[in-house]
Structure 1
Amino acid sequence: MSVAFNASILRAPRTGIGQYLVELVRALATDPEFEPWLFNGWNWQAQLPAAALPGYSRLSALVKRGVPNAYALRRLVEQRRFSRKAACADLYHEPSLWPFEFDGPMVMTLHDLTHVRFPQTQPADRLAAIERHAARGVERAQRILVDSQFIADEVCAHYGVPAERIVVAPLGCAARFHPRAPEQLAARLAALGLQAGRYLLCVGTLEPRKNLQLALRAYERLPAALRERYPLVLAGMPGWRAEQLAEPLQRALASQQVRLLGYQDDNALAELFAGARLLLFPSLYEGFGLPVLEAMASGTPVILSRGSALSEVAGEAGLYIDPQNEVVCAAAIQLLVEDQARWLALREAGLTQAQAYSWQRCAQITAGVYREAVKA
């Protein structure tokens, strides 16, 4: 079965949806029944790209600012080039919110409804395009894949989709996320001025939804001696409205106790997870929360928000906080830094919880959905 994928998201540095697409295609490639065709926004290719297109994010931002109706114009060109070969595919899988027109059976993945729940986190022109394309895709798709039951319920409620058209395919965790001995991490961490087990980690795009302002305020409340011993490390690329973080972030960076690392590649991120004392993930809304799973698989306890899909992923292995309460968040950080017994208990619980998730399982569920969609 030939499966056409919209892989244009892989032109940019890989964040959550990009990682999903890469790992899913890799897992599906082990099944000879499926032949992935990848549309990169311009051409078709059989293999996953090794890395993002150099300079793509900067160029894309310049085009959006300087070209009127940039989204619509790019979409028109991409649709024409997509249709040239996609018409020969047995199935089309759209991994995001921007499905192309396609006459055959289609599967769409909805990772979350951020555009519905937090429309203020998107530029107005992008939000309008998302709403138009997503609604059309939901209407056309034979089956809709989601990462969690939480999102399945949201899709049913918002779009009025019958439950039988929605399938939960939980995400997985790549093999590179596993516990590591301090000596295995020494070179990478030393280059960053860090020590294994002696820093706190936040991972995610720098945008309001990730609630990093709470993380910064909670960190400021910690005792000075603790902050001296445990710097707060932020790993992620700037996102929409990142300027809202500018003032608190600049103040935190000036203290030299907060480190801003920017975007980290796959291997660097895996080592950062394994070396952290804890992952702080106070996000306001997630359809899954892949960093939570990756941290648990790395043997790193997680402090996370109660709500959305996060409790579905972490189960009893997370230390939950109110994402609006910096006092509670600071107390949770201090607990996991100072209480070794609690830290060890959460570490073991996280390692056990993470074993329930794999990309192979995600691919097996997805393959079943493909077969259903073709027959529908």
Structure 2
Amino acid sequence: MTDIQFSIATPTRNSLAGLRRCVGSIRQQQGARWEHLVQDGASTDDTVPWLSGQPDLNWKSEPDTSLYEAVTRAWARSHGDILSYLNTDEQYLPDTLATVAAAFAAHPGIDAVFGDAILCDAESGLPLAARREIPLRRIYITHGPLYALSCTLFFRRRLLDQGLLTFRPDLQIVADAELVHRLLSAGIRFLHLRQNLALFGISGNNLSIGSSGTSEINRLRTEWGTAGSPWLLPIRSIRVLEKAFHGCYLPTRISYPFCIDENGHTVTHSARRLGARWRWTPPVPPTKRIGLYALDLDHHRLASPGIFNYTRQLIHALAAGPNPGFHIRLWLSSANASDLCPSILPAWMSVRIIPGNYAAGWRRLLADHGWGALLPCIDHVDAVHYPKGWLPFFKIGSAASIVTMHDTIVHYLAKHYPDSRSRFKHRYFINASLQSLRKANIILTDSRFSAQELGKLNPNRISDITITDPGPGLSIDGIPPAVLKRDQLVVIGSRIPYKATETTLSLLADFVTQSSRRWTILVTTLAHWPHDWEPLPASLDVRFTGPIDDTTLINELARSRALVFLSEIEGFGMPALEAYLCGIPVGYRNGTATAELLESLPGGWDGTGPASFIRALDAALAIAPDEIDNIRHRLTDRYNWPHCARQTLSAYRTALYGPET
């Protein structure tokens, strides 16, 4: 190690990120002794607290008028043999100090050294240009710019002791050019090292870029007698020719480390043919991308439309909201695109449509475990949201995964209704559910009830489950127009056993028998009474609608007296929310997510038998219209799609950028 000590001044103000990288580049220097003098201009960010934890830095924080005043103050408390200054958007390359020390030792008559540099983006370190120079000549400086970059300049201490190493206080931007010109005029000899010594960071805030220093350089040229000189262009041309003769403009292959923190950690950048010409534009940070996978959804082929409606409404709410700061890529099928894709896509949302219908059978398996794994790589996304809750069995790439696990129904079916599916299907869905619960980076669900049930399946993931509050699946814009109420009760029909349609109609037969009204039971979705169920009770006046569109369902709910929704397990209970938004009460089953949604409003059945059911339904029907309106407003305030979209975007940001601190 050389005996020469360097004193390196760094002026800074509110530039902590750059300061840390600058410090890291000095700390990685080998073969030379140094002291780093940080002169902070009374920063208001976290610079001073950070400096307080750096015992190897000689720092001071006080107001100053310019970076040159800060450098002067730092040098005033220096002890080194060689002085330099390095701004926060600049870095020394490895072994720079050892190289410069060797040059001074080999040339005792030289008082200053400068070298070549690489121009790079200050934040990323990506290369912009190779700045190779020629020896300093006073005539070139008086007729053109200072072409020795300050980050490559080094001075012997005797220049400071002799009073020569000073900056003019009336110059805020080009004081370094005036200093070099004055030293050359005093006969000070500069040695040019034809190698890269530093990285000069371009950020758009550099004092040497733009027109802000024009008035100062014109004032200097007036003092030097070259303002308006007819020799300005010829002498600049001669300098260009000299640089060309020495090969300064030839493209060159480079590779260099760029410090990313104060500990000297680096990333390596390289270029095969880096030229001398460059143009800097504010860098556009790479846009984070998140994919939303919905190939396996089809409104017409789903046993339960809840997940389809959830996905549809969420996509439309996201598209209607503000720019989230990242790109959302929709993956839809040709079968569902017309339903799921917004009619107008914002600039930050795009769609890829895969031909086919993948909602059931082998096509669903192909989509979920083929397209679901490949699309994140094909479209280069950083995270993927699977709103149906199923992850591909095989993950390709590094995209983070977000699943919305609405419920634990597949486990409930396997336990309570083992004959409802083949053993293979039960096993497949259970394994798929457990895999999602185990492997997903972020787990979303619709209710506290579902979160608790998911936590029972995998207690290790309880803290990773986030509840988002969905809105209604139907597009209900206020209460439908006032219509004459019928003595009609609505049942959402389904052959799936946990939906309890058969049980519901049996209980309604008892209710109708003891009621003084003549009730009509409207069963949606089902086209007829299933032949393998118990005979339809003769006391019931039942109308089966088969599949109906959303508008018809909204109108039927609005003209009915109540919805009877006795599903044994739900992730949320969306039909109950929709009923109240249409202005009718709900008979529901206690101990479910629906009960949580409705906050134990009148109408909850304890599941014990017909008598308790009749009491529950009577209680729901007794709710006054004004109270139903109050409930509707209360539910609307909490359960709406803009709110759900904001909660979901928060999960997306966590997946893309990490947890908020």
Shift in alpha-carbon separation, 1:286–1:46, aligned structure 2, 3 A: closer
Of residues 456, 465, 476 in structure 2, which corresponds to 1:176? 476
Shift in alpha-carbon separation, 1:335–1:46, aligned structure 2, 3 A: closer
Task: Confirm whether residue 3 of structure 1 aligns to residue 284 of structure 2.
Answer: no
After alignment, is 258-267 or 116-125 more displaced?
A: 116-125
Indicate the SS of the match to 2:625.
helix
Shift in alpha-carbon separation, 1:129–1:81, aligned structure 2, 3 A: same
Conserved in 2, the CA contact under 8 Å of 1:215 and 1:326? no
* Cα distance, 1:81 vs structure 2: 5.6
Conserved in 2, the CA contact under 8 Å of 1:106 and 1:142? yes
Q: How does 1:220-239 map to 2 (within 5 A)?
A: 220-224=509-513, 226=515, 229-236=518-525
Conserved in 2, the CA contact under 8 Å of 1:202 and 1:281? yes
Match of 1:353 in 2: 634
Indicate the SS of the match to 1:111.
coil
* Cα distance, 1:307 vs structure 2: 0.7
Shift in alpha-carbon separation, 1:297–1:99, aligned structure 2, 3 A: same
Conserved in 1, the CA contact under 8 Å of 2:390 and 2:403? no
Of residues 280, 296, 313 in structure 1, which corresponds to 2:597? 313
Amino acid corresponding to residue 198 of structure 1 in structure 2: D
Of residues 544, 547, 551 in structure 2, which corresponds to 1:267? 551
Match of 2:644 in 1: 362
Indicate the SS of the match to 2:494.
coil
Shift in alpha-carbon separation, 1:233–1:76, aligned structure 2, 3 A: same
Indicate the SS of the match to 1:229.
coil
Match of 2:536 in 1: 251
Structure 2 unmatched ranges of 5 or more: 1-287, 343-353
* Cα distance, 1:125 vs structure 2: 2.5
Q: Deviations over 1:238-287 (max 9, x none)?
A: 8xxx95x7433x524x7670111122222222222212100111111111
Structure 1 CA distance for aligned equivalents of residues 492 and 477 of structure 2: 14
Of residues 194, 205, 225 in structure 1, which corresponds to 2:494? 205
* Cα distance, 1:95 vs structure 2: 0.9
* Cα distance, 1:41 vs structure 2: 5.2
Amino acid corresponding to residue 326 of structure 1 in structure 2: P
Task: Confirm whether residue 109 of structure 1 aligns to residue 404 of structure 2.
Answer: yes
Match of 2:563 in 1: 279
Amino acid corresponding to residue 295 of structure 2 in structure 1: S
Indicate the SS of the match to 2:563.
strand
Match of 2:504 in 1: 215
Match of 1:161 in 2: 460
* Cα distance, 1:82 vs structure 2: 3.3
Structure 2 CA distance for aligned equivalents of residues 292 and 366 of structure 1: 22
Structure having the larger proportion of residues in strand? 2
Structure 1 unmatched ranges of 5 or more: 184-194
CA RMSD of aligned residues (A): 3.4
Indicate the SS of the match to 2:591.
coil
Match of 2:194 in 1: none
Conserved in 2, the CA contact under 8 Å of 1:235 and 1:264? yes
Amino acid corresponding to residue 139 of structure 1 in structure 2: R
* Cα distance, 1:42 vs structure 2: 7.6
Indicate the SS of the match to 1:292.
helix
Structure 2 CA distance for aligned equivalents of residues 107 and 234 of structure 1: 36
Conserved in 1, the CA contact under 8 Å of 2:563 and 2:584? yes
Q: Deviations over 1:319-353 (max 9, x none)?
A: 1112342222234334555x4xx343652343133
Task: Confirm whether residue 329 of structure 1 aligns to residue 619 of structure 2.
Answer: no
* Cα distance, 1:6 vs structure 2: 1.8
Shift in alpha-carbon separation, 1:247–1:134, aligned structure 2, 3 A: closer
Structure 2 CA distance for aligned equivalents of residues 212 and 9 of structure 1: 26
Conserved in 2, the CA contact under 8 Å of 1:201 and 1:233? yes
Match of 1:82 in 2: 375
Moved over 6 A (4+): 42-47
Structure 1 CA distance for aligned equivalents of residues 490 and 613 of structure 2: 14
Shift in alpha-carbon separation, 1:279–1:180, aligned structure 2, 3 A: same
* Cα distance, 1:370 vs structure 2: 0.8
Shift in alpha-carbon separation, 1:206–1:318, aligned structure 2, 3 A: farther
Amino acid corresponding to residue 176 of structure 1 in structure 2: I
* Cα distance, 1:296 vs structure 2: 1.1
Structure 1 CA distance for aligned equivalents of residues 312 and 491 of structure 2: 23
After alignment, is 294-303 or 122-131 more displaced?
A: 122-131
Conserved in 2, the CA contact under 8 Å of 1:222 and 1:334? no
Amino acid corresponding to residue 207 of structure 1 in structure 2: I
Amino acid corresponding to residue 333 of structure 1 in structure 2: L
* Cα distance, 1:153 vs structure 2: 1.6
Conserved in 2, the CA contact under 8 Å of 1:306 and 1:323? yes
Indicate the SS of the match to 1:220.
helix
Match of 2:24 in 1: none
* Cα distance, 1:47 vs structure 2: 8.4
Shift in alpha-carbon separation, 1:43–1:267, aligned structure 2, 3 A: closer
**TM-score, normalization by structure 2:** 0.47
Structure 1 CA distance for aligned equivalents of residues 652 and 493 of structure 2: 31
Indicate the SS of the match to 1:89.
coil
Task: Confirm whether residue 31 of structure 1 aligns to residue 322 of structure 2.
Answer: yes
Shift in alpha-carbon separation, 1:227–1:82, aligned structure 2, 3 A: farther
**TM-score, normalization by structure 1:** 0.79
Structure 1 CA distance for aligned equivalents of residues 402 and 567 of structure 2: 28
After alignment, is 11-20 or 102-111 more displaced?
A: 11-20
Conserved in 2, the CA contact under 8 Å of 1:38 and 1:44? no
Indicate the SS of the match to 1:251.
coil
Of residues 420, 424, 431 in structure 2, which corresponds to 1:125? 424
Q: Deviations over 1:173-209 (max 9, x none)?
A: 35515423444xxxxxxxxxxx633210112533211
Structure having the larger proportion of residues in helix? 1
Conserved in 2, the CA contact under 8 Å of 1:42 and 1:81? no
Structure 1 CA distance for aligned equivalents of residues 478 and 366 of structure 2: 43
* Cα distance, 1:218 vs structure 2: 1.5
Structure 1 CA distance for aligned equivalents of residues 657 and 441 of structure 2: 9
Match of 1:137 in 2: 436
Match of 1:188 in 2: none
RCO (CA 8 Å, sep 6+): is it higher in 1 or 2? 1
Amino acid corresponding to residue 171 of structure 1 in structure 2: P
Match of 1:189 in 2: none
Structure 1 CA distance for aligned equivalents of residues 556 and 332 of structure 2: 30
Amino acid corresponding to residue 353 of structure 1 in structure 2: R
* Residue identity (%): 22
Structure 1 CA distance for aligned equivalents of residues 644 and 605 of structure 2: 29
Shift in alpha-carbon separation, 1:204–1:149, aligned structure 2, 3 A: farther
* Cα distance, 1:2 vs structure 2: 2.7
Structure 2 CA distance for aligned equivalents of residues 90 and 318 of structure 1: 46
* Cα distance, 1:237 vs structure 2: 5.1
Of residues 69, 80, 97 in structure 1, which corresponds to 2:389? 97
Shift in alpha-carbon separation, 1:215–1:178, aligned structure 2, 3 A: farther
